Amino acid sequence: MTSNNDYNLLSKDVMTEILSRLPLKSLFRFRCVCNDWYTLIKASYFIAKNQQKNNIRLLVHHYDYKILRYCVGIFPDETLGKTSPVYFNLDELGIQNYPDCLIGPINGIYCVYGRYEDHMCLWNPATNEFRHIPLPRPDLPSYIADFNNIFGFGLDVMTNHYKVIWIRQFWDDDIDCPYDPETISVYNLCTNSWRLFDYYFDTMRSIRNSSGNDTYINGVYYWLTDSSYNDFRILAFDLNNENFRELPAPSDIPKTQFGELASYSDSIAIIIYHPTEIENYIDIWVMKGEGFWTKIITTGLILDILAPLGFWNDDHLFIRTRSAHLILYNINTLESRDLGNYGGDSALLVHKFRESLFSLKEGDNSFSMGQP
C-alpha cells in the first residue's frame, strides 16, 4: 500500500508539474493561494522548470526617429509577421532616452546600458523588474574621452554567479588617437562589485559587439574581431577564471567579406556576407570545437540585404534590409517573411528569449538558477 508520506510526495510532484506548465500571469496570481504554493513558485528549481516550458519569444530593439528614442518590443506569440510587437515603457528603467545597448538574455534577464546617461541595469521583461548596477569610474585625465564600449553578459557555471564584462576604449584628444590601454571590468552580481584588470589587445584590431544575439555559450562569451582587411578572429572570455583567449576564424573566408557572430544550436556561428554586391549570398560557418569550423550552408540569392541578425531556429535567419525591413528568411526553402519596417535604423537588433519568473528584487540569493 502507499503510505501517506508517499501520497503527499506524489501529490507535490504532480502539482509542481501542473503549475510549471502555466503562464506567468497565472503563476503571479497563484502565489497568493497558500504559503506552500508561494514557496514553490518562488523556488529557483521551479522557476527554471517553468522557463523551459515557455515558448520562445522574439524581442526587437531599435531607434524610433519619430519619438527620438530607443524602443524595445516583444512579439506576442510565435506567429511572427501576423502580429506587431508590443512595446515597453522604458522610463521605469531609469535609462529613459538612451538604452542603446541590450545584452542577453540569460535566464530571461537582459543587461541594459544607456551610453549618454551612463546608467546600467539588469531587466526582466516578463516581470518588468529591474536592478541598477553601480558603475566603475576610471581615474583618467580630462583629455581622455569615452570612445567605444563593448559588453558581454553571462553565467559563471562553476559558481552560478552572473557577470557583466565591460571593455571600455578611450580616445586621446591631445594627440587625436586611441588611448592605450583599454579599461576592462567584470561585474559580479553576487558581490555587487567590479574587478578591474589589464589585458592588452592588438591595437590594429577592432572588437565588435555581436549581431545582437546572445553569444554566450556554456560559461564563455564570444566577440568577433577584425582588422581593416576584415581579417576575422574570435575573442573569448571565460567567466569562470575571468581570462581572455583568442581563437582563429575559418581560414577560407575571403578578406573582402563582412561578418556577424551569432549563436546556432548551442554553438557559435559566423555569418559571412557582402552587402555591396548586387548578387549577395551568405555563408554560415559553425564552430564545432574552439577554433574548428565547418561550413554548413551557402544560401541562395538574397536581395536588398544590409546585415544578418542571427537565427530564429536552425533553418531561419533574421535579415535587416536596406529598405529598413526585418525579414525572416528560410535558408533551405529560400522563402522570406516580412516582419515590418523599422524606420531605416541601422541599429535594429533582435533577440529570442523565454519568459522567466526570475526575480531581480530579492537579494543576491535569487541569482542561482544554473544554466539558462
Count up the domains in the chain and report the number. Answer: 3
pLDDT at 325: 87
Which of 213, 212, 210 has its CA nearest to residue 224?
210
- The answer to the question of residue 164 being in a domain is yes
Q: Read off the pLDDT band of 97 (50, 70, 90).
A: low
Rounded to two decimals, the pTM is 0.85
Percent of the chain with pLDDT over 90: 15
| Same domain, yes or no: 315 and 357 | no
Q: What is the pLDDT of residues 192-212, one digit of tens each?
A: 999 988 777 765 567 876 555
Mean pLDDT of the chain: 80
Q: What is the pLDDT of residues 12-45, one digit of tens each?
A: 778 788 887 877 878 878 888 788 887 888 877 7
| Same domain, yes or no: 334 and 350 | no
What residues contact residue 160 under an 8 Å CB cut-off, 6+ apart? 367, 368, 369, 370
pLDDT at 47: 81
- The answer to the question of residue 48 being in a domain is no
Sheet holding 129-132, edge to edge: 101-106, 109-114, 119-124, 129-132
| Same domain, yes or no: 8 and 63 | no
Residues pairing with 287 in the sheet: 293
Q: Could you tell me the sign of the dihedral formed by the alpha carbons of 344, 91, 366, 151, in that order?
A: positive
Q: Provide the grid cell at 77.
A: 506569440
| Same domain, yes or no: 337 and 352 | no
| Same domain, yes or no: 358 and 270 | no
What residues contact residue 79 under an 8 Å CB cut-off, 6+ apart? none
What residues contact residue 351 under an 8 Å CB cut-off, 6+ apart? 58, 59, 61, 102, 104, 105, 110, 212, 213, 214
| Same domain, yes or no: 172 and 254 | no
What residues contact residue 115 under an 8 Å CB cut-off, 6+ apart? 98, 100, 101, 149
| Same domain, yes or no: 118 and 145 | yes
| Same domain, yes or no: 152 and 260 | no
| Same domain, yes or no: 139 and 91 | yes
Range of the domain at 328: 211-341
Largest CA distance in the chain: 85
What average pLDDT score do residues 288-308 get?
Answer: 83
Q: What is the pLDDT of residues 40-86, one digit of tens each?
A: 888 777 888 877 788 888 898 888 777 777 888 888 876 676 778 88
| Same domain, yes or no: 30 and 157 | no
pLDDT at 372: 30
Which of 147, 126, 140 has its CA nearest to residue 51?
126
| Same domain, yes or no: 125 and 168 | yes
- The answer to the question of residue 180 being in a domain is yes
316: left (phi over 0), alpha (psi -120 to 50) or beta: beta
| Same domain, yes or no: 281 and 360 | no
pLDDT at 369: 36
How far apart (Å, rounded) are the C-alpha atoms in residues 160 and 190? 9
- The answer to the question of residue 135 being in a domain is yes
- The answer to the question of residue 206 being in a domain is no
- The answer to the question of residue 205 being in a domain is no
Which of 186, 60, 190 has its CA nearest to residue 131?
190
